Structure 1
Amino acid sequence: MSTETTKNDILRGGQFIVKETACEDVFTMEDLNEEQKMMRESTREFVDRDLWAHWERFEKKDYAYTEETMRKAGELGLLGVAVPEEYDGLGMGFVSTMLVCDYISGATGSFSTAFGAHTGIGTMPITLYGNEEQKKKYVPKLATGEWFGAYCLTEPSAGSDANSGKTKAVLSEDGKSYKISGQKMWISNAGFCNLFIVFARIEDDKNITGFIVENDPSNGITLGEEEKKLGIHSSSTRQVFFNDTVVPVENMLSERGNGFKIAMNALNVGRIKLAAACLDAQRRVINEAVTYAKERVQFKTPIVNFGAIKQKLALMATNVYVDESASYRAAKNIEDRIAMRQAEGNTHQEAELKGVEEYAIECSILKVAVSEDVQNTTDEGIQIFGGMGFSADTPMESAWRDARISRIYEGTNEINRMLAVGMMVKKAMKGHVDFMGPAMAVKDELMGIPSFDTPDYSETLSEEKALIKSLKKVFLMVAGSAAQKFGTELEKNQQLLMAAADILIEIYMAESAILRTEKNIKRTGLESQATQVAMSQLYLFNAVDIIQTKAKEAIISFAEGDEQRMMLMGLKRFTKYTNQPNVIALRNQIAADVEENGKYRFDG
């Protein structure tokens, strides 16, 4: 594909809310090429053989086994999927890195956390911000599993406000080194890592600076005891103390004062990969739950026959189908944007940084949506298992505990909700997304006379697609009016921002599933996609309920009088179905598919 074609076909980050996407322009799991399918299968085999079969060891805080299996992952090349070949990595694209993160998550939260911390925030900052000497020295060791990495950003007084850290870096009199002193906490992989990415402040700089620090206990580095945690029991998590730790000046990462930028860009990548790391975790829970439900007999019948259980299985399967659709849609957008920039002459570092940064809104959306779905799926998994689900003898209990951290990692879900809307407004101000123009058009539409024609929705998913277009008007109406009313003060209205974010999230997720299903209907026919149609319709039905509630909450919070009445009437108009779906029938259809196949089958 030519660079010009790529430019024309790929929407910029956030533009999905103001432009219509053709189903042919989205990437789905059904589009994976043979190389990607092979990578998926090798990851699955590793997880089944070395991780899932030994999940009890991870629950018994067997940190040594986590380290052992991480080395095996390195031998298989799984730690270097995203690393360029010149640094002993596989040099694969962004979709392939997402695939590995996805299927690694089917193991345990402990291993998935160790893997993510090493490949993401442990290795990636050097790959993307390091100079050539730094990359040659450190990245091959990290890519092959000879060394492991960790990321030291969080401090007792600096969590979400990452730039407020108090760790200091003082330049030596001869100008050849810095002495770093400070305390870092919640450091994943601290117990067995060889290298830290450390953020510290030089003098009274406004922004922190990044450093590559080798883990040498004789150099003023001490570790706290392993943290006692709700979940991820075999993920080594410790405090790290630096006491005049000497770091050569050549180990400064990027430029002085660039640490906050490094941290924020690392979070963008981390957010979408965290979404991927919640996918196979959901599939495994569904598979375990349906197996149990078919075997567990109560009142002389397997509990899978009960409507209450069918409802749970249907919602669990629907959520992961939607999550897959949105995650791989965004991943391919990022991969294509990276390729476009490289074709224009950007270096690998520049292209990947800008490619991911372009879709920061989508990364935040995915982080929130998928992390909350994995929590709900594991919770329903426990419920299907009943008393046995509460027992530590089954993997449901540990899956639920491990899932809980995903709503905190990579910026809390509350912060990511506010970021998604805040970044959308900023993109509008920069002219990257024409946000206010369409918002004003919606306002004009509200003052006009609505059409009373009955639309033709005879084609499958045609009403759902029309409804998505109307739901986008809800977001534009609410967010546009709020931005006009509050201006630069909008960011102080956190509850309003979170309500708007929930509308934005539901639109992106629902649209992604509908586009995936529509694309596959055109490819393989409607009959093959019957359950996928049902899942797309069920998710949208539930999304409309959420959007109605959140939009009403937002409108009443800032609009009054005629403006409020007009917006509430608009909300009713934009969320109206012509043909309401039979939700119970949809659930039963989806549950029957999961029961018949004995598993979630839609990931290929």
Structure 2
Amino acid sequence: MSTGSKKIAGGSFILDETDFNQVVTPEDFTEEHRMIAETTEQFLQGAVLPRDEEIEKLNYELTVDLIRQAGELGLLGAEVPEAYGGLGLDKLSSTLISERFTKASAFALSVGAHVGIGTLPIVYFGTEEQKQKYLPALATGEKIAAYCLTEPSSGSDALGAKTTAILSEDGTHYVLNGTKQFITNAGFADLFIVYAKVDGKEMSTFIVERTMEGVSIGPEEKKMGIKGSSTCPLILEDVKVPVDHLLWEVGKGHLIAFNILNIGRFKLAAGCLGGAKDTIELAAKYANERTQFGRAISSFPLIGQKLADMTIKTYALESMVYRTAGLFDVGLAEVDYDSEKVGYLSAKAIAEYQLECSINKVFGSEVLDEVVDEGVQIHGGYGFIQEYRVERNYRDARINRIFEGTNEINRLLIPGTLIKRGLKGELPLLERAQALQEELMNPIPPVQFDHVLEQETHLIAMAKKIFLMCGAQAVQNYQLKLEEEQEVLSHLADMMISVFAMESALLRTKKRIAKLGEAKNELAIQATVIFVHDEFEKIDQWAKEVLAHMAAGDVLRTQLSILKKLTRKTAVDRIGLKRKIAASVIAAEKYVI
């Protein structure tokens, strides 16, 4: 791996410059990574996609059989340590598998729920006995897992769960009662990771087996999309769960839930990346085949513009996803899985990048929504017909903005997490904000740009200052009441999301240039330039809205004057650059950067 192994603090990207050598990119994949991706692709093409229509009709037996076939190839055990029958691979490898699996539509969700939120709680928080008992079977698909947090009365408010666990008088087991809702894989899962409150108070996590008396499954939900995946309620009626089925400790359930959700959010973004690439390929091929007015519709500039926009945003998403995978690989490498404190160590390592996980989730799900929407538009009326796969991509994509915490909740978490880290002294947030205030009182000289990506580097630096300026003003204005200003927090989150996305694309492109030169990276440079300028203009607008809400009169005029100086830039020919990107996508009939 041609990257450094220096651990980077979560959230520090908004304060510091990052060396592109410290960023993991798809160009860093080893031969082993490529083999894993190829194995996944071959399995999908040979075993899964030919049965696509049967899977979509919700065939339990077929889905379970295919999951077990994936297990035989090692595709379920990437993140299970070798000592427990898995492959013990890095996050890059499991991310590649997640991205590639997306072509399998709802089947990808069945696999993803099993290997991610279903299995990882035991990997990271299980006892030695629990790992030996369950992980080998989960790694092969002999046993299939489901994750059970949501309840009819608690969705985003996970801690509002009402399922209870009461310790028996003899201390041998807990009695669980409650109903979990919208549980992926519930129709055929063997194990359920269930969250319940001990004595109705302390959120805790239990491994519940399907065969336990009192466990029953409700009917399948009739869903808008992801129809080939099982989604049912899990009903627990006086279920006796042995005490050795408790994960980690009583009262630590919220830590398991939130950290596993962090991993789930990241994996969701990887899936969105695969979905975006798949849709670009479908749209480009269709645009070349479909003729109107005597010519292929791909020759019309407005169709090309759509394909270019889809590709540019997907490049940014791809850059973010693998950058984050690299962060996890370094952070989790420090975890000693033989330690008695493995639960605390795992929770700490995962929580370090909870902010980046939320950023990936929000950006990935919204990019995919834009890409599938334009994919349908390029197909015209046929995009509305089920015979064309893009119609399913459109329906299946919609759940991602709800899964793993709604995008609204994640937007509130992003700045909230940053501020908490600053107050705890984990990031020099307050110091940087104070230094910026002093800096902004001085004149800001105009800057000239002579080299490739020089202006874009400057714009990202300015975007960080704009965020700090607005964020510091918000904290000063509202203090403890800031959490009530959800529109302000949402705009601050969007600024951070844009900064992380812009910087990820920029660092990746710079790394590519350092390796192969500018001439061989023209598409990457063009995409980065357009993306940075597009996002920077959004940040300018969000900042104006936030500042206008927090101040008025001379104070506002002064702030807007400073903002105007921070947002000075030279316009670029976005139309011309997009035409070049579109031409490459149309020629290749797939995502090409």
Read off the aligned partner of 1:153 and give its amino acid letter.
L
In the superposition, relative to structure 1, how do residues 343 and 536 fare at CA in structure 2: closer, same or farther (>3 Å)? farther
Q: Give yes or no for the alignment of 1:120 onto 2:112.
A: no
Offset, 1:427: 0.6
The CA distance in 2 between the partners of 1:550 and 1:243, in whole Å, is 50
Alignment of structure 1 residues 222-233 onto 2, 5 Å: 222-233=216-227
The CA distance in 1 between the partners of 2:331 and 2:267, in whole Å, is 17
The correspondence for 1:469, drawn from 432, 438, 461, is 461
Kindly report the root-mean-square deviation, in angstroms, between the aligned alpha carbons of the 2 structures.
Answer: 1.7
The CA distance in 2 between the partners of 1:349 and 1:70, in whole Å, is 28
The CA distance in 2 between the partners of 1:83 and 1:349, in whole Å, is 15
For the 8 Å contact 1:180–1:245, the answer to whether it is kept is yes
For the 8 Å contact 1:158–1:164, the answer to whether it is kept is yes
The CA distance in 2 between the partners of 1:193 and 1:535, in whole Å, is 43
Instruction: Tell me which residue corresponds to 2:584.
Output: 593
In the superposition, relative to structure 1, how do residues 144 and 29 fare at CA in structure 2: closer, same or farther (>3 Å)? same
Offset, 1:348: 6.2
Read off the aligned partner of 2:139 and give its amino acid letter.
A
The CA distance in 2 between the partners of 1:23 and 1:432, in whole Å, is 23
Q: Give yes or no for the alignment of 1:195 onto 2:187.
A: no
Length, aligned pairs only:
591
Specify the SS of the correspondent of 1:428.
helix
For the 8 Å contact 1:103–1:279, the answer to whether it is kept is no
Identity of aligned residues (%): 42
Read off the aligned partner of 1:583 and give its amino acid letter.
R
Alignment of structure 1 residues 422-441 onto 2, 5 Å: 422-441=416-435
Offset, 1:106: 2.2
Offset, 1:54: 3.4
Read off the aligned partner of 1:398 and give its amino acid letter.
R
For the 8 Å contact 2:319–2:505, the answer to whether it is kept is yes
Read off the aligned partner of 1:99 and give its amino acid letter.
L
Offset, 1:346: 9.2
Specify the SS of the correspondent of 1:90.
coil
Instruction: Tell me which residue corresponds to 1:259.
Output: 253
TM-score if structure 1 supplies the norm length? 0.95
Read off the aligned partner of 2:123 and give its amino acid letter.
T
Instruction: Tell me which residue corresponds to 1:238.
Output: 232
Instruction: Tell me which residue corresponds to 2:380.
Output: 386
Instruction: Tell me which residue corresponds to 1:81.
Output: 78
Offset, 1:349: 5.3
Instruction: Tell me which residue corresponds to 2:297.
Output: 303
Instruction: Tell me which residue corresponds to 1:553.
Output: 545
The CA distance in 2 between the partners of 1:567 and 1:49, in whole Å, is 60
For the 8 Å contact 1:427–1:433, the answer to whether it is kept is yes
For the 8 Å contact 1:446–1:566, the answer to whether it is kept is no
Q: Give yes or no for the alignment of 1:290 onto 2:252.
A: no
Offset, 1:601: 2.5
Alignment of structure 1 residues 163-174 onto 2, 5 Å: 163-174=159-170
Offset, 1:397: 0.7
The CA distance in 2 between the partners of 1:601 and 1:129, in whole Å, is 40
For the 8 Å contact 1:276–1:327, the answer to whether it is kept is yes
Instruction: Tell me which residue corresponds to 1:537.
Output: 529
Specify the SS of the correspondent of 1:106.
helix
In the superposition, relative to structure 1, how do residues 484 and 66 fare at CA in structure 2: closer, same or farther (>3 Å)? same
For the 8 Å contact 2:79–2:86, the answer to whether it is kept is yes
The CA distance in 2 between the partners of 1:307 and 1:57, in whole Å, is 38
Alignment of structure 1 residues 53-452 onto 2, 5 Å: 53-108=50-105, 110-205=106-201, 207-216=202-211, 219-342=213-336, 351-452=345-446
In the superposition, relative to structure 1, how do residues 39 and 351 fare at CA in structure 2: closer, same or farther (>3 Å)? farther
In the superposition, relative to structure 1, how do residues 490 and 65 fare at CA in structure 2: closer, same or farther (>3 Å)? same
Q: Give yes or no for the alignment of 1:48 onto 2:45.
A: yes
For the 8 Å contact 2:181–2:232, the answer to whether it is kept is yes
The CA distance in 1 between the partners of 2:346 and 2:255, in whole Å, is 14
In the superposition, relative to structure 1, how do residues 361 and 245 fare at CA in structure 2: closer, same or farther (>3 Å)? same
The CA distance in 2 between the partners of 1:200 and 1:342, in whole Å, is 28
Offset, 1:250: 1.1
Gaps of 5+ in 1: none
Gaps of 5+ in 2: none
Q: Give yes or no for the alignment of 1:12 onto 2:6.
A: no
The CA distance in 1 between the partners of 2:521 and 2:149, in whole Å, is 46
Read off the aligned partner of 1:531 and give its amino acid letter.
L
Q: Which moved more, 1:122-131 or 1:58-67?
A: 58-67
Read off the aligned partner of 1:172 and give its amino acid letter.
S
Offset, 1:181: 0.8
In the superposition, relative to structure 1, how do residues 208 and 246 fare at CA in structure 2: closer, same or farther (>3 Å)? same
